[in-house]
Each structure stands twice: as structure tokens, then as C-alpha cells.
């Protein structure tokens, strides 16, 4: 009876996948990352200075692939029909581990780093107002450190590095999956910048999303002299938006939807013959995303009929709901705990406080405690929110996201506030810590086959139990590589003068003449 009770208790306890790479191997890997701390700083600062938005990450991709080529990686450019996308592969035999992070910036968020107050470097230019400049430098440092340990110790395995192009447009990872980039991958580790150090598993509560542009076509006419001869495409756009806003009241709380008019016509005295509106439809599962998208299309078609116009649609991007892998997350979390948070200096904490004060944000020090492993139970119910197209890869191969502490707490996302720290010692230290966690997790995956086996079983029996990958993309949908081209044609000549030159300056702040910590809040 006692034996039976003990067995029942054991079965009721959560089973944890144990990290099995030896302490000696992990010590080597962490030393390898530390030896590349200067390299991390140069990469983080350089990508920050390029500040390229989605589909225009040409300088960023050239720079990063150049570093990987110099370190023995084979580069395949233009993957999935996307000019700035690539893969970098190394190794023979053993499991294939994919390592990725995003590289794109955001429009209109140019900002001097290390400056607490809002100060654009180039007025109206893009900038890294989320911190994507730090992710691939982290991944590269982790991969090179893991590679060294693998070579020295005869560990079999293959690495595939890839960039998240145009993530802010949620416009590429579904196409990566469709093109088969991950068909031979055994496990995938993704990283994203944050203000603390952690990972999680299960349904993250992030919404999936479809990005679609509706284009209405009507008939031009003199808007004053002969308006009855025209049919306004802009009327179609406006009526669709009115219809959608009326419908919002009767949609689930979990949905998020928003739009911008990308073409409202030419000039007031010409009835607009063409007009377009760009929508993001977000929901929590595949069925609901598709239903929201179909509702939007129905309203668009009704608006066209009401205005005597026609309407067509083009999918510009897609993001599946996020779902992290539990066995992999448990292993990664142990490594995060082993690495620990960066040792913040008094200067780091003072700068973070100055940035918060200057921008009217709640005061919160840089993190000194790692939060618990995030799970559906600890997160609680979700009422919807943002999206990340890493979800498409999560529904293809076992995948986790590791968040690393390179930004300041309390700062607004998709805002210049989140660019302030991203080429400072805070960003550098956070990326080094994240690189260590990734490198250790790679070694665990390669030295302990059971982790990958458990990860695949979890995906099949838990993640796929009630849902399967069901994107709205059709075979005719193509990546929207035209996006942001015009703005970069205008802005790039002004931005090049601000590119970081590590051969002349020890840091980007030095090149810009900014003394760290700059505590001038302007008050």
C-alpha cells in the first residue's frame, strides 16, 4: 500500500527534462561567450546604427553573414524569395539545431542611444525602438562558443542560424516554413529582447494574426464639376472602416484589430479612383484568426457594393499563435538560472532611472531576480495582445523563446523609449548573458538525445492534441518585399553618416560623443 502511494505521488509530480551537458563543457561555453563580449558589443552597436526596417535589412544582413562566413559557416542568401533573408549552417552529423532572432527596426523611431530624453538621430528615420539589434549578435556569439566546444570535444551536431526579417510586419516566418527551411530541424531556439531573463512553455497568450491590405477601385471624376460621374474608392475604404468599427462591439474580448489607410487618393478635386487600407486581425487560435479575417473581407465586399466600387485583397503577412515547448523550456530555464542576471553597476541603474524619469515612466530598477519559469498556470488567462511570427516555427518544430535582459523596465514598446538603452552597456551585458544561456542549451540538446525526444513527444501529444498548424496563406500569396522600400530610399543617405565604425571607436556612444551614464533628464 505504501509502495503504491509513493508510486502515485511520483507520477503526479511534474517530470523535468534534466540538462545533461557536463559542468566542464558548460564552463567552456560560458568562457567562450565571455571571450567574445567585445565582439557582442560591436555587433549590437553596429546593427543599432544601421536601423533598417522590415525587408530593407540589407546592410544588417551583409554585416552579420560576413562575420559568420569568416567563422566557417555556409551562407545561403535570399531564402524563401526574400532578398534580406538567409541561413548560415555549420557541422556534420547529429541533430540540427536552429538558432534565430529578429533584425528589423521600426519606422520613425530614430533615437540617440544613451540619451534619457527623446532625441532623434535623423528626424523621421527608422530606429531600433524594440531592441532587435541585440538578438542576432547574441545568437552568433552563442553559436561560435558552442561550435568551439563541439569541435574540441568531438560533439556531433549541426547549427543553422537564421534572421527574423520584417518581424514587425509579421511577414516572413510563415513563408520560411512554407519554403521548407525547417523541414530537417530537430529543435529551435529563438531569442527576444526584454528587461528580464526567462523562458516559458505552452500557449503564451500572444495572439496570432493575419496582415491584409484591401484595395478599392472606383472611377475618377471632377469632384466639383461632375461628381456624379465618379465612384470614390476612398468611400469604399471609409465605409469598410466604419463597418469594422461597428462590428468591434460584437467581437470577443481576445481580438485585436487595427488599420491604417495606405492610399487615400491623390488630391481633393479628383474623385479617388484607387484607395487602400491595411488591417491587422489578431486572435488566439487558428480558427478564430480565420473567422476574423473572413469577417473583415465580408465587410470590405459589402462596402464595395454600397459605394459602387470593387475590392481586392492581398495578404501581407501571417503569424501563428505562440506555443513554447515544455521539455526544452525546462532545460533552458535551468541554464538561465546557472548564468544569472548581469552584474549591473551603479551607473547602469542610475541611467535606467534617468530614462524612466525623463519619460514619465514608473521607476523600476534593472532586474536582479529571475522570474519563475512561465507556464499557462503561472500566466493565468489571457485577454489577447501582441503577436510574434515565431509561432509559425513553433507549430513546425519544437521551439522555445528565451527573453534576455537588454532593455530598461517600464519603457513603452514600439516607441523611441525602447531604443534609449539599446546601444549601451545595459544592452551589451544582457546580450552576453543571453548568449550563455543559448550556448548551454545547445550543448544540452546535443549531448542528451532524450531532451529532443521528449520535446517531439510533447509537441505531438500536448501541443497538437487539439490544434494543428492552419495558416491562411495560399500558394499564391508572396512575401511583401516592396514594403519600406520608398522610405529607405529617402532616409538611407541621411542615415549612413551615423553608421558605427568599430575600427575607430571603442563603442557607439564614444563615436557619438555621449558620455555614459548620461543622466540629463532635461528637467
Report pLDDT digits (tens) over 84-97: 999 999 999 999 99
Specify the long-range contacts of residues 493-498, CB closer than 8 Å, at least 24 apart.
Answer: 494/122, 494/125, 495/50, 495/51, 495/110, 495/121, 495/122, 495/125, 498/49, 498/121, 498/122
Alpha helices by DSSP H, listed for 16-77, are 23-34, 37-50, 58-70
The three three-digit cell numbers of residue 455, written as one number = 520535446
* Three-state SS at 400: strand
Query: Residue 14 and residue 178: Cα distance in Å, rounded?
Result: 35
User: Could you give the domains of the chain?
Assistant: 23-204+321-512 (3.40.630.10), 208-319 (3.30.70.360)
Q: What is the dihedral of CA 140, 143, 149, 154, to 10 degrees?
A: -140
What are the distances in angstroms from CA 475 to CA 175, 183, 221, 315, 482? 10, 18, 37, 11, 19
Share of the chain above pLDDT 70, in %: 96
For the stretch 419-470, pLDDT in tens is: 999 999 999 999 999 999 999 999 999 999 999 999 999 999 999 999 999 9
Report the DSSP beta bridge partners of residue 202. Answer: 324
Share of the chain above pLDDT 90, in %: 93
For the stretch 335-354, pLDDT in tens is: 999 999 999 999 999 999 99
**Cβ partners under 8 Å of residue 383, min gap 6:** 253, 254
* Three-state SS at 170: coil
Query: Residue 179 and residue 365: Cα distance in Å, rounded?
Result: 43
Query: Is the peptide bond prior to 517 cis by the omega test (within 30 degrees of 0)?
Result: yes
CB of 273 within 8 A of CB of 218?
Answer: yes
The residue-averaged pLDDT of 493-498 equals 98
Give the model's pLDDT for residue 191. 98
Cα 423 off chain centre by: 18
Query: Residue 357 and residue 348: Cα distance in Å, rounded?
Result: 14
For the stretch 25-68, pLDDT in tens is: 999 999 999 999 999 999 999 999 999 999 999 999 999 999 99
Q: Which residue has the cell 472611377?
A: 219
The three three-digit cell numbers of residue 185, written as one number = 530541424
Query: Residue 285 and residue 459: Cα distance in Å, rounded?
Result: 16
Nearest by Cα to 484 from 61, 80, 55: 55
Three state DSSP letters for 420-471: CCCCCHHHHHHHHHHHHHHHHHHHHHHHCHHHHHHHHHHHHHHHCCCCCCCC
Give the model's pLDDT for residue 384. 78
Q: What is the dihedral of CA 240, 245, 251, 257, to 10 degrees?
A: 80
CB of 164 within 8 A of CB of 103?
Answer: yes
Q: With bands split at pLDDT 50, 70 and 90, how would you rate the model's confidence at 10?
A: very low
Give the model's pLDDT for residue 8. 39
Over the chain, what is the mean pLDDT? 95
- Residue 478: how many other CB atoms lie within 10 Å: 14
Give the model's pLDDT for residue 1. 38
Query: Residue 389 and residue 403: Cα distance in Å, rounded?
Result: 15
**Cβ partners under 8 Å of residue 332, min gap 6:** 189, 199, 400, 402, 437, 441
Give the model's pLDDT for residue 523. 75
Give the model's pLDDT for residue 19. 44
Range list of β-strands (E), 336-397: none
* Three-state SS at 297: helix
The CA radius of gyration of the chain, in Å to the nearest whole number, is 24
* Three-state SS at 193: strand
Task: Flag whether the pTM goes above 0.85.
Answer: yes
Residue 4 reports pLDDT greater than 60: no
More confident call, 523 vs 313 = 313
Residue 307 reports pLDDT greater than 90: yes
Range list of β-strands (E), 79-199: 86-90, 96-102, 158-164, 187-194
Query: Residue 360 and residue 391: Cα distance in Å, rounded?
Result: 33
Amino acid at each position: 500500500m505504501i509502495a503504491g502511494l509513493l508510486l502515485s505521488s511520483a507520477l503526479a509530480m511534474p517530470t523535468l527534462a534534466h540538462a545533461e551537458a557536463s559542468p566542464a563543457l558548460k564552463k567552456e561555453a560560458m568562457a567562450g561567450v565571455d571571450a567574445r563580449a567585445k565582439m557582442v558589443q560591436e555587433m549590437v552597436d553596429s546593427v543599432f546604427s544601421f536601423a533598417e526596417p522590415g525587408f530593407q535589412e540589407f546592410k544588417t544582413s551583409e554585416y552579420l553573414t560576413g562575420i559568420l562566413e569568416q567563422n566557417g559557416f555556409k551562407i545561403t542568401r535570399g531564402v524563401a524569395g526574400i532578398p534580406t533573408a538567409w541561413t548560415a549552417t555549420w557541422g556534420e552529423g547529429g541533430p540540427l539545431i536552429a538558432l534565430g532572432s529578429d533584425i528589423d527596426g521600426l519606422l520613425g523611431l530614430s533615437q540617440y542611444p544613451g540619451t534619457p530624453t527623446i532625441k532623434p538621430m535623423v528626424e523621421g528615420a527608422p530606429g531600433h525602438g524594440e531592441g532587435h539589434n541585440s538578438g542576432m549578435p547574441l545568437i552568433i556569439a552563442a553559436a561560435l562558443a558552442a561550435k568551439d566546444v563541439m569541435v574540441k570535444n568531438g560533439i556531433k551536431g549541426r547549427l543553422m542560424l537564421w534572421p527574423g526579417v520584417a518581424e514587425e510586419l509579421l511577414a516572413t516566418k510563415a513563408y520560411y516554413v512554407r519554403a521548407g527551411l525547417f523541414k530537417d530541424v530537430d529543435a529551435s531556439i529563438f531569442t527576444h529582447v526584454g528587461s528580464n531573463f526567462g523562458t516559458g512553455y505552452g500557449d503564451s497568450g500572444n495572439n496570432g494574426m493575419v496582415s491584409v491590405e484591401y484595395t478599392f477601385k472606383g472611377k475618377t471624376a471632377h469632384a466639383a464639376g461632375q461628381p456624379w460621374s465618379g465612384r470614390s474608392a476612398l468611400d469604399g475604404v471609409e465605409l469598410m472602416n466604419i463597418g469594422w468599427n461597428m462590428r468591434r462591439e460584437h467581437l470577443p474580448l481576445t481580438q485585436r484589430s487595427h488599420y491604417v489607410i495606405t492610399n487615400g487618393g491623390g488630391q481633393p478635386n479628383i474623385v479617388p479612383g484607387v484607395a487602400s487600407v491595411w488591417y491587422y486581425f489578431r486572435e488566439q487560435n487558428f480558427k478564430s484568426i480565420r473567422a476574423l479575417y473572413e469577417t473583415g473581407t465580408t465587410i470590405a465586399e459589402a462596402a464595395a457594393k454600397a459605394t459602387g466600387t470593387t475590392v481586392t485583397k492581398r495578404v501581407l503577412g501571417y503569424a501563428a499563435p505562440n506555443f513554447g515547448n515544455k521539455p526544452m523550456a525546462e532545460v533552458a530555464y535551468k541554464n538561465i538560472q546557472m548564468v544569472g542576471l548581469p552584474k549591473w553597476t551603479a551607473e547602469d541603474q542610475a541611467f535606467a532611472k534617468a530614462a524612466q524619469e525623463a519619460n514619465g515612466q514608473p521607476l523600476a530598477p534593472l532586474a536582479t531576480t529571475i522570474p519563475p519559469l512561465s507556464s499557462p498556470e503561472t500566466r493565468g488567462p489571457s485577454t489577447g495582445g501582441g503577436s510574434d511570427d515565431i509561432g509559425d516555427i513553433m507549430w513546425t518544430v519544437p521551439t522555445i523563446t528565451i527573453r534576455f535582459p537588454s532593455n530598461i523596465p517600464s519603457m513603452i514598446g514600439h516607441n523611441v523609449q525602447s531604443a534609449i538603452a539599446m546601444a549601451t552597456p545595459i544592452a551589451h551585458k544582457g546580450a552576453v548573458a543571453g548568449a550563455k544561456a543559448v550556448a548551454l542549451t545547445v550543448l544540452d540538446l546535443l549531448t542528451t538525445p532524450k531532451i529532443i525526444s521528449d520535446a517531439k513527444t510533447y509537441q505531438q501529444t500536448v501541443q497538437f492534441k487539439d490544434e494543428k498548424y492552419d495558416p491562411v496563406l495560399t500558394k499564391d500569396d508572396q512575401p511583401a518585399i516592396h514594403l519600406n522600400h520608398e522610405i529607405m530610399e529617402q532616409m538611407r543617405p541621411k542615415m549612413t553618416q551615423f553608421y558605427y565604425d568599430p575600427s575607430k571607436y571603442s563603442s557607439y556612444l564614444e563615436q557619438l560623443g555621449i558620455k555614459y551614464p548620461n543622466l540629463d533628464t532635461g528637467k
